[in-house]
A and B are shown apart, each in its own frame.
Chain A
């Protein structure tokens, strides 16, 4: 095993080395730092040119310059990073990177998580409803998303999503025809997802449509969008629904112990709702992470206490439910500061941001700052995930269909397992394995996409670093960008190899 890790690391290092060499050479030949000087009409032009040649060592051949750059970069392995510095601003590349990396990594991390969660869910749902209207709809939509140029979408989002929504917030009233239209659409979508015979479809359509209409009417009449909140009652109702849903998928509703543990987790969350509000006053990121861990733990404990023949199922159902309820409580608390946030002098009633990753000069507690981060993240994330969402949808759909065709699924059905067990235990888990290979490729695409998205939304992340470096004919920052991205991708690939080997016993690690 150790030998395998060593070999894998070595071959990745060689690949990365080769890639940096290719990029450096291409940059050396495509960027010309002397271009502006050749065009200048200064009297001491020749002297300036000579100065810059000396500054940048342009007399030495590019491979030699690469070696000296590599020497500095190799220092990163022993903790003394020297990735050169920008000759335009004289800033060391390491400093530039340290301010740029967090922004881009937040953006990309968020996008990967959201795209994976949504993409896999929709893909699985679509595969389970193969050859229905819903399936065709999803397939068509994923084709459209595949074909959308991300820069075009980002500009549209900025204009409609941000400016349009902010204008709408000035007078947040949804007119009755719009409510009727959305409810009709919602009903249609839900009946397509739920499926079944005509009668079941009709019932779903009516219920979903009515629920949507009621919700929208409530939102528009109470001005909910200006001061949103969930409150314990809504959390309770939603929590119970989640408990039933999670149990139905994770353990089956027949398993009463699992259902009761999930419901107990919801009850515990509600009981802690008011005490938590006091704890939240001095919240910090660390505290939220701690609460998150406690939530999972309490769910597991509840499930364990309920016991029964299959403790694992109850524990799983309770823990997953607890996490969802915790998320609801978190969102509720964030909504609590929405009014304060959007009325603060820096925001002035236009909460959805179009520029940067945070509002400059905004002061507030943890909640206001978190909310600020989210309002800045939302549009770039949407712009970034459209394509990866489409590819995850298509891959998970294809992968589940492939698995559903296998003999062991037929065996599982033949021995009388319920459809839930067949889908969740036998099919779903195996269908997820091939997805592991797509994630690193997708991360590479996202880094590329972030170059465009950051430019449109005015983030000063790594994409901006890259574009600026290219426009200023500045090799070192561009190399700095690439070394980070390349290393991340290579690491992601190694991790995926191990995940793959761990998930699929057919793949042996041959050292």
Chain B
């Protein structure tokens, strides 16, 4: 999955001469670097992840600066609420590429009552990004705390927390998401995101628990305990930093599924509902207009796919960067050759 670069760091000490040479090269390469620098370095070399990071930054900047954020005005001339005179017949996009790019007044087109689709899509992107970020942070935090407690204390507490996790997992996520969406009913996206965070933490909790179960048997934990550190300190100062790799990777993947969950709920009418705008409810609103005004359907979908794809790629890059076992096994053919 990683983009192989000739100098891909591959730790792992085996008495294989070829591998020893590689290890030597790689040891030289990481000499005097902290773990964080090594991870960062590997991530920066991951071509797919870097492209994704650049594209995602671009989308975030575009969405936040174009129509502004909250009271701060943006540089785009229209907002997503105004009904404007229709420029092209049927509200077709004014963007054209013949003889140089010109974006015109409504690059993504207009809907049947003249709203600017670019502004609508930007607003939807803002909302989706906001929901995605909040779910990513809050759900991860809940999951980390749950998993850490269960994995560190084991026994009855572990049993209790894991049975609770099982209960939440038994409920299909779209279903409980829809119920929570109705419960917070048309509230701000922040409330919706917080509500969804309370049901999306399960995978993180299981992962962190597994990690903690193995970490608590390690010597440094014993050392800390002998030195008189409290349980809280051991968990969050000593063990958590050692689990940070899996946590960050899982948080990224959680965010990718969060944006799909939010848009799906909004599509079904249980998430962000009109008059507010989300990429999901834009698609719901305009799906019938596909035959006559396809751009109403394409742009929101394209942005969902782009965001989710970028986040997934970044997650993959992070996984490769954090995983010290990443090493390339020569294929049969290569072994036969060399």
Contacts and interface: CB of A to CB of B under 8 A. Distances in A.
A129 B268 CA distance: 41
Contacts, number: 135
Given A149-B304, A451-B178, A467-B268, 4 more contacts: A15-B166, A18-B164, A139-B1, A144-B309
Interface stretch (B115-123, B238-246, B324-332): B324-332
Given A26-B180, A29-B183, A405 B169 contact: no
B4 A131 contact: yes
Contacts of B180: 26, 30
Interface string B208-249: 000000000000000000000000000000000000000000
A159 to B, nearest CB: 6
30 contacts: A16-B170, A18-B167, A19-B170, A23-B175, A29-B183, A130-B329, A131-B328, A139-B1, A146-B309, A146-B312, A147-B256, A147-B260, A147-B305, A147-B309, A148-B308, A149-B301, A151-B267, A151-B268, A151-B283, A155-B287, A155-B297, A405-B329, A441-B169, A447-B172, A448-B174, A452-B264, A470-B179, A471-B269, A481-B175, A486-B171
A14 B162 CA distance: 12
Interface string A163-183: 000000000000000000000
A490 to B, nearest CB: 6
B163 A22 contact: no
B201 interface: no
Contact of A448 (B4, B172, B267, B312): B172
B179 A19 contact: no
B52 to A, nearest CB: 9
B167 A455 contact: no
Contacts of B331: 129-131
A468 to B, nearest CB: 12
Interface in B68-100: none
B182 interface: yes
A467 B268 CA distance: 9
Chain B CB within 10 A, most for which of A152, A159, A478, A485: A152
A382 to B, nearest CB: 17
Contacts of B329: 130, 401, 404-405
A11 B263 CA distance: 35
B176 interface: yes
A482 B175 contact: yes
Contacts of B269: 471
A149 B305 CA distance: 7
Contacts of B107: none
A444 interface: yes
Nearest to A387: B260
B179 A27 contact: yes
Interface string B308-329: 1100110010000000000011
A452 B174 contact: yes
A27 B182 CA distance: 9
B170 A15 contact: yes
Interface string A395-426: 00000010011000000000000010000000
Interface centre among B175, B269, B291 (most CB of A within 10 A): B175
A245 interface: no
Nearest to A147: B308
A478 B179 CA distance: 10
A57 interface: no
Interface in A116-161: 129-131, 139, 143-144, 146-152, 155, 159
Q: Which 8 A-B pairs have the closest CB atoms?
A: A147-B308, A30-B183, A448-B174, A448-B172, A147-B309, A152-B301, A18-B167, A19-B167
B170 A449 contact: no
B323 to A, nearest CB: 11
A130 B269 CA distance: 43
B108 interface: no
A445 interface: yes
Interface residues of B, number: 49
A159 B174 CA distance: 24
Contacts of A149: 260, 263-264, 267, 280, 283, 301, 304-305, 308
A459 interface: no
A449 B268 CA distance: 12
A447 B173 CA distance: 9
Interface in A215-243: none
Interface in A98-117: none
B153 interface: no
Contacts of B186: none
A486 B182 CA distance: 21
Nearest to B179: A26
Interface residues of A, number: 53
Contacts of B333: 195
B163 A452 contact: no
Contacts of A22: 167-168, 171
User: B269, B284, B301: which has the most chain A beta carbons within 10 Å?
Assistant: B301
Contact of A14 (B163, B264, B280, B312): B163
A341 B305 CA distance: 38
A424 to B, nearest CB: 14
A151 B312 contact: no
Contacts of A152: 283, 301, 304-305
A151 B182 CA distance: 20
Contacts of B301: 149, 152
B114 interface: no
Contacts of B167: 15, 18-19, 22
Interface in A1-51: 11, 14-16, 18-19, 22-23, 26-27, 29-31
B182 A419 contact: no
B199 to A, nearest CB: 10
Nearest to B263: A149
A482 B256 contact: no
Given A30-B185, A445-B172, A148 B332 contact: no
Contacts of B178: 451, 466, 470
A508 B167 CA distance: 25
Contacts of A147: 256, 260, 304-305, 308-309, 312
A148 B174 contact: no
A489 interface: yes
Interface in A447-492: 447-449, 451-452, 455, 466-467, 470-471, 478, 481-482, 485-486, 489-490
A150 B305 CA distance: 10
B270 interface: yes
A452 B268 contact: yes
A29 B48 CA distance: 45
Nearest to B328: A131
Given A131-B4, A155-B283, A155-B287, A143 B313 contact: yes
Interface in B255-312: 256, 260, 263-264, 267-270, 280, 283-284, 287, 290-291, 297, 301, 304-305, 308-309, 312
A495 to B, nearest CB: 15
B171 A482 contact: yes
A273 B302 CA distance: 49
A478 B166 CA distance: 20
B163 A18 contact: yes
